[in-house]
Amino acid sequence: MKILVVTDLYPPDAIGGYEMGCRQAVEALRERGHDVRVLTSAPRMPVRDDPGVVRSLKLVDAWSHYLYEHTRPIVARLEENESLRISSFNVHALLGEIESFQPDVVYVWMLVGIGGLGLMACLHHLQTPWVWHLMDDVPIMLCSSGRQVMPELLRQVTQQLQGEYISCSQQLVDEIKLLGVDLGTKVSVIPNWVAGPIRPQRRQYLQEGKLRIVTAAGLVHRASDKGMDIVVQAAKILHDSGRTNFSVEIYGRDLDGYFPRWIRDLELEDHVHMGGIISQADLSDRFAEADVFAFPTRKREPFGFVALEAAARGCVPIASQICGYAEWFVHGLHLLKAPRDTSSYSAIFAAILDGDIDLEPIGRRAAEVVTRDFHVNSVICHIEKVLFRAMARRSSTGGARPEEAYRMAVLAERLSRVLIQDSLCA
Amino acid sequence: MASRLIAYLTPLFFDESSYLGGGERYPLNLARGVHLATKGEYRIDLISFGREERRFQIAEGVDLHVLPVAHTPRRELDVVSWALPAAIAKADVVHIHQAYTRCAEMGLLVAKQLRKPVCITDHGGETSRLGIEIGHLELVDRVIAYSDFGASLYKTTRPIEVIKGGVDAEAFQPPKIRPKRDRVLFVGRLLPHKGIDMLINAMPPDILLTVCGRPYNPAFYEKLQKLAIGKKVEFVTNGDDNRIKDLYARAWATVLPSVYRDSDGNTHTAPELMGFTLLESMACGTPAIASRVGAMPEFIRQGETGFVFDSFEEIPLILRSLMQDPLLVRQMGERGRKIVLEEYDLRVAGGRMADVYARLMAEQRRQAA
């Protein structure tokens, strides 16, 4: 199969798991003999050339906080339009790749920052088969302005975009439906995965009677919804209850020094450490040494690769009951589930320390099931089936001419630009 | 029973407060004609815009569907609505009127995205060049012009169909008992490009001219009133269709003296794409007189159904020749009505238009097969 992957970012230029997962899927598909080309944006920092990766899309860097803070409202609205709705430049680039590569199917990933809705409209207009891999509520994002969903736009997207979807969890499907897009029967729920060689299993837990807790996120910030504050507060409760035989390692990028100050104020420096940014391989090694991975992430965490990576190394995830990851595993068998609050997390930590929960069988089963059923080499077969199914649905009549699709993109871009300015300046 | 739905998209609202010119009458008449010519097989949704959504039957087989505007535009032809995609979702064909407006640009984008066959017609209003700059006409399936002159103005490689006429020859017909013809008539909006001021100047003082139309430009209307001093000119600014029909009946001729360059020095590249009132006049059995401007000469057979003049200096001579020859007036009137019935009636135009729609639907079916 000739597969054209479209994604806003592609490693080494990446934000988090979505992009890392994209690369792993691409490599796995190539290993299975498929011809895969990646179309992504020009990187935000120089990267080396990567065969099969075309970095020609224009990215609106929606993740630059500094730029965002220094952008005037009207410019922000126009950039939002280019980021989410339409970039004729990127439609042109997509058409060029479709023309030169002649893919059997387009495999779409994260589309924020590159005018994703326009790219999907272009595929729709060309009647090119596509599969959209959702690890977040991207269709909703593309139909929103600020935090407000635009219902009419969403309705049209729902009605018009006929393709195949892959969602990493049923929770994500339900969430997208709740917000207005019913993916219906077009969606296949396929979990995230771990990649790379399967490491030897361990081992012992609670060495020297000490509970080693690890947690990680791309960004460690009080406004972030990853729940780092819950872990710190749970540690405080544990400490105040007289239990001192534990440690917490927090990995991720500290934006403003808030957490170190807070940990110091709570007098937890002896137990809670900020580990900063470390490589994925190093993090994996930390998981092998730790007992539990605290994952009190937000309600709408669609899945999270990191919990799987922890489980693969025998580090038992303690996941919030409401995150997407939790729906794939059974409490007490492969992970521990807890309500997403401080007291629940501190109670679980205490129960482990008190010997009420035996981590060893949970960690062993989790590692076995993850490395067997949730390894990319297993999961890719399911993805491949969806790609084949989409390809089989290719229209025999063909869609619009590329020049027509491009002209429509230019019209849409200019029209939306004028309408935004008219509405803001009226 | 109607089996085909055609959506007409037109930015201006069809009520008494609206700015009604040929550009608004034409879509409505054409819609009626399509329905009548197809014996009800085609139904038309005439989609326009207003503050609140509403829908009602405006003519047999024609529903007016008013969509709520997304925001109040600076220019009234630049209306857009979020409700447009849903409004045209079930249409078999979308026909966009007023090609060079924001309304048309948005309509074209939505219709193409919904994979509808699209026709487009210019009515002379231009409020946006955004589409023109990117060649938006290349996106349509058919351009529909209602005159050869109108067709010549389109810059596109897409097929152009010329469908002339669209007047309602049943509504506009000679009176059963004709009153005495005693005047010359102008019917149209009171705007500088219509050349009314030049007509008043050219009028012999002893011939009555009735100027019938809404004044949209107060300064121009004041100018007309000043020019009329010392001449036999009456203004009818609130005439309804019955009054206009009565005026057609009383006139020796209806004059449409539109100009490329008005008395204020402004130029108009397409002052008349058809000249609807000339056809109404002919339908009523009254000869038509027009300047050799725009599409008007296409609709008048010189000396047979009326006259085309090149200079306003010709006006007195033409008018006197008609006044002095009632038989000629009658013969021209009868000939004019016959031609309207055969070529320009809305049922004839509607039939031709329906043929175009049918071909487009067939093309789409072939592509989908």
Distance CA B351, CA A286 (A): 79
Tell me, what DSSP letter sits at residue B69? P
Mean pLDDT, residues B241-264 taken together: 95
Q: Does the pLDDT value for residue A397 go beyond 80? A: no
Q: Does the pLDDT value for residue A238 go beyond 50? A: yes
For residue B191, the one-letter residue type is: L
Tell me which residue of A169, A307, A311 sits closest to A227, measured CA to CA. Answer: A307
Q: For chain B, which residues lie within 8 Å of any Cβ of chain A, measuring from their own Cβ?
A: 70-74, 78, 80, 82-83, 85-86, 89, 102, 105-106, 108-109, 112-115, 130-131, 133-136, 138-139, 367-369
Tell me which residue of B107, B248, B89 sits closest to B182, measured CA to CA. Answer: B248
CA–CA min distance B158, chain A (Å):
12
pLDDT top residue among A279 and A32:
A32
pLDDT digits (tens, 9 = 90+) for B214-223: 998 899 999 9
CA–CA min distance B127, chain A (Å):
13
Percentage of chain B modeled with pLDDT above 90: 82
**Cβ neighbours of residue B209 under 8 Å, at least 6 residues apart?**
B183, B184, B185, B186, B199, B200, B203, B231, B232, B233, B234
For residue A309, the one-letter residue type is: E
Mutation for B interface: A122, A157, A161, A411, most B CBs within 10 A: A411
Mean pLDDT, residues B144-173 taken together: 95
| Chain B residue numbers touching A420 (CB-CB < 8 A) | none
Percentage of chain A modeled with pLDDT above 90: 69
- DSSP-derived 3-state class of residue A266: coil
For residue A203, whether the previous peptide bond is cis, meaning omega lies within 30 degrees of 0, is yes
What's the pLDDT score for residue B282? 98
Mean pLDDT, residues B125-152 taken together: 94
Distance CA B105, CA A411 (A): 8
Confidence band for B21, pLDDT divided at 50, 70 and 90: low
Distance CA B50, CA B352 (A): 31
- Computed from CA positions of residues B21, B25, B26, B28, in that sequence, does the dihedral angle turn out positive or negative? positive
Q: Does the pLDDT value for residue A183 go beyond 90? A: no
Q: Does the pLDDT value for residue B349 go beyond 80? A: yes
Phi and psi dihedrals of A91, rounded to 5?
A: -65, -40
What's the pLDDT score for residue B2? 60
Instruction: Indicate the pTM of the whole model.
Output: 0.88
Confidence band for A129, pLDDT divided at 50, 70 and 90: very high
Give the mean pLDDT of chain A. Answer: 91
pLDDT digits (tens, 9 = 90+) for A256-302: 889 999 999 999 999 999 999 998 889 999 999 999 999 988 767 88
Contact between residue B58 and residue B35 where contact means Cβ atoms under 8 Å apart: no
Is A162 at the interface with chain B, CB within 8 A? no
What's the pLDDT score for residue A399? 77
Q: Does the pLDDT value for residue A218 go beyond 90? A: no
Confidence band for A156, pLDDT divided at 50, 70 and 90: confident
Contact between residue A10 and residue A44 where contact means Cβ atoms under 8 Å apart: no
Contact between residue B53 and residue B70 where contact means Cβ atoms under 8 Å apart: no
CB contact under 8 A, B139 and A410: no
CB contact under 8 A, B105 and A404: no
Option in A410, A423, A426 nearest B134 (CB) = A410
Option in B73, B136, B369 nearest A411 (CB) = B136
| Chain B residue numbers touching A397 (CB-CB < 8 A) | 367-369
CB contact under 8 A, B70 and A423: yes
Q: Show the tokens assigned to A132.
A: 């959209």
Option in A124, A153, A414 nearest B130 (CB) = A414
The alpha carbon of A221 is separated from its chain's Cα centroid by a whole number of angstroms, namely 18
pLDDT digits (tens, 9 = 90+) for B269-325: 888 998 899 999 999 999 999 999 999 999 999 999 999 999 999 999 999 999 999
Confidence band for B19, pLDDT divided at 50, 70 and 90: very low
- DSSP-derived 3-state class of residue B355: helix
Nearest-CA residue of chain A relative to B78? A419
- DSSP-derived 3-state class of residue B126: strand
**Cβ neighbours of residue A252 under 8 Å, at least 6 residues apart?**
A216, A217, A218, A219, A220, A226, A228, A276, A277
Q: Does the pLDDT value for residue B28 go beyond 60? A: yes
pLDDT digits (tens, 9 = 90+) for B178-205: 999 999 999 999 999 999 999 999 999 9
Give the mean pLDDT of chain B. Answer: 93
Nearest-CA residue of chain A relative to B109? A408
DSSP string over B220-267: HHHHHHHHTTTS-EEEESS--HHHHHHHHHHEEEEEE---SB-TTS-B
Confidence band for B337, pLDDT divided at 50, 70 and 90: very high
Is A426 at the interface with chain B, CB within 8 A? yes
Nearest-CA residue of chain A relative to B81? A152
Q: Does the pLDDT value for residue B15 go beyond 70? A: no
Mean pLDDT, residues A1-23 taken together: 94
What's the pLDDT score for residue A151? 87
| Chain B residue numbers touching A408 (CB-CB < 8 A) | 109, 112-113, 139
| Chain A residue numbers touching B367 (CB-CB < 8 A) | 397
What's the pLDDT score for residue A147? 79
Distance CA B113, CA B85 (A): 9
Option in B71, B72, B105 nearest A411 (CB) = B105
Mutation for A interface: B81, B112, B157, most A CBs within 10 A: B112
Contact between residue A317 and residue A292 where contact means Cβ atoms under 8 Å apart: yes
CA–CA min distance B367, chain A (Å):
6
CB contact under 8 A, B105 and A124: no
Contact between residue B47 and residue B6 where contact means Cβ atoms under 8 Å apart: no
Tell me which residue of B255, B256, B286, B279 sits closest to B175, measured CA to CA. Answer: B286
Q: Does the pLDDT value for residue B22 go beyond 70? A: no
Distance CA A141, CA A110 (A): 10
Mean pLDDT, residues A179-208 taken together: 86
What is the distance in angstroms between the CA of the first residue and the CA of the last residue of chain A? 51
| Chain A residue numbers touching B72 (CB-CB < 8 A) | 426
What's the pLDDT score for residue B16? 47
| SS3 of A179-228 | CCCCCHHHEEECCCCECCCCCCCCCCCCHHHCEEEEEEEEEECCCCCCCH
| SS3 of B201-213 | HHCCCCCCEEEEC
